[in-house]
């Protein structure tokens, strides 16, 4: 929900719905849902739109009838990893190679995360996190993506492989 709120705040409804599901399109103030069984419309103008992320939804679902309040159930992010039991990374193996802060950062970056959030999680300053991120990025272990005013960092495929090699069995 934090990710969706950030998208809405930085790019409006267009950005919010752009990555939510391939069947959703926001065009000229109207939300379109492709490949729906029914063909009704729900007018939300002035009534808002309740967004309901669900781990059980595989595609967007609007209200069943047009007279219901406007809502949209949509697939939650990260559902593919919800029931997985992957062992945690043993950062102690990577610490001699990368140093403790960088090993912890690499382990945390399984999804795009801004510097300020990483600083909060690690309880170190954002500038210290930025220095470590720069080294990891320059070495090819991270990728970065701009999302509005934020730069989000995530492990690269090389970083994933390095971390996989440090997993305890």
DSSP state at residue 79: G
Domain residue limits, the chain: 2-79, 91-165
Unique residue bearing structure tokens 């679902």 = 61
- 25-32 long-range CB contacts below 8 Å, 24 or more apart? 31/72
What is the rounded CA–CA span in Å between residue 70 and residue 56?
20
Q: Is the confidence at residue 7, as pLDDT, over 70?
A: yes
Cα of first residue to Cα of last residue in the chain, in angstroms, is 33
pLDDT of residue 169: 47
Mean per-residue pLDDT of the chain: 84
Q: What is the pLDDT of residues 108-146, one digit of tens each?
A: 998 899 999 899 888 899 999 999 999 999 999 999 998
Is CATH 1.10.10.10 what the domain over 91-165 is classified as, yes or no? yes
The pTM score is: 0.49
């Amino acid at each position: 929900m934090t990710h969706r709120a950030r998208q809405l705040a930085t790019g409006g409804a267009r950005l919010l719905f752009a990555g939510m599901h391939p069947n959703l399109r926001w065009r000229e103030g109207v939300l379109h849902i492709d490949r729906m069984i029914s063909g009704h419309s729900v007018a939300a103008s002035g009534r808002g739109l309740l967004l309901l992320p669900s781990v059980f939804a595989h595609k967007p679902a609007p209200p069943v009838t047009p007279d219901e309040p406007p809502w949209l159930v949509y697939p939650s992010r990260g559902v593919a990893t919800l029931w997985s039991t992957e062992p945690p990374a043993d950062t102690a193996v990577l610490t001699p190679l990368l140093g403790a802060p960088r090993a912890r950062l690499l382990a945390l970056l399984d999804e795009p995360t801004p510097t300020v959030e990483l600083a909060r999680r690690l309880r170190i300053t954002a500038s210290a996190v930025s220095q470590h991120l720069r080294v990891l990025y320059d070495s090819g272990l991270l990728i970065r993506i701009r999302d509005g005013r934020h730069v989000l960092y995530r492990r690269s495929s090389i970083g994933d492989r390095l971390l996989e090699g440090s997993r305890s069995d």
